[in-house]
Structure 1
């Protein structure tokens, strides 16, 4: 797994997981994709940046904003300009996996 300032598991059930992740300055959720689950992000402290490939996009979320990344879409998450970010992430519905991109 990748380093985070904090990872808080809020709830987990078959096919569904809710966490709160905190990225320290300079940390990231590295490029990856999921076979089944959609990642739905709610920014709590930010701003935070969600980048995707195929389609290529950059979404900046301010606190209170949300954005969903569907299955089979490569994405990574950072704080804007390498800053700190804290966000809730709902992952589902389906079996969770983490497929790294590149290497």
Structure 2
């Protein structure tokens, strides 16, 4: 199972990090994904920069498609994964906080 930072990404750019808060820009190449996982405390807030991108969740099950300029938040304790639509590439900013960051893989 993937742990934080061990899944392949085209590019990861750390914009800012402080205790309990982190902002990154992630670029996924075609076929890449941020695999299924959840966080104990932090909410992931996504801003699509290049897309479209897809955020899938479990419990509750859902699919959100973001176009460039759109945003969506996934609350703590909600399993989710991120891909480009139809396996395509995407780029997005992600704000993670407030709380202690962890990456809990889902089998």
- Unaligned 5+ segments in structure 1 are none
Q: 1:62 maps to what in 2?
A: 67
Q: Does 1:17 align with 2:30?
A: no
Q: 2:84 maps to what in 1?
A: 79
Deviation of 1:76 (Å): 0.1
Deviation of 1:54 (Å): 0.1
Partner Cα separation in structure 2 for residue 92 and residue 7 of structure 1: 18
TM-score if structure 1 supplies the norm length? 0.99
TM-score if structure 2 supplies the norm length? 0.95
Deviation of 1:56 (Å): 0.2
Paired residue secondary structure (1:10): strand
**CA RMSD of superposed structures (Å):** 0.2
Which of these residues, 51, 57, 77, is aligned with residue 56 of structure 2? 51
Which of these residues, 30, 33, 40, is aligned with residue 38 of structure 2? 33
User: What is the aligned residue count?
Assistant: 102
Regions of 4+ moved over 3 Å: none
Partner Cα separation in structure 1 for residue 76 and residue 49 of structure 2: 23
Paired residue secondary structure (1:71): coil
- Unaligned 5+ segments in structure 2 are 1-5
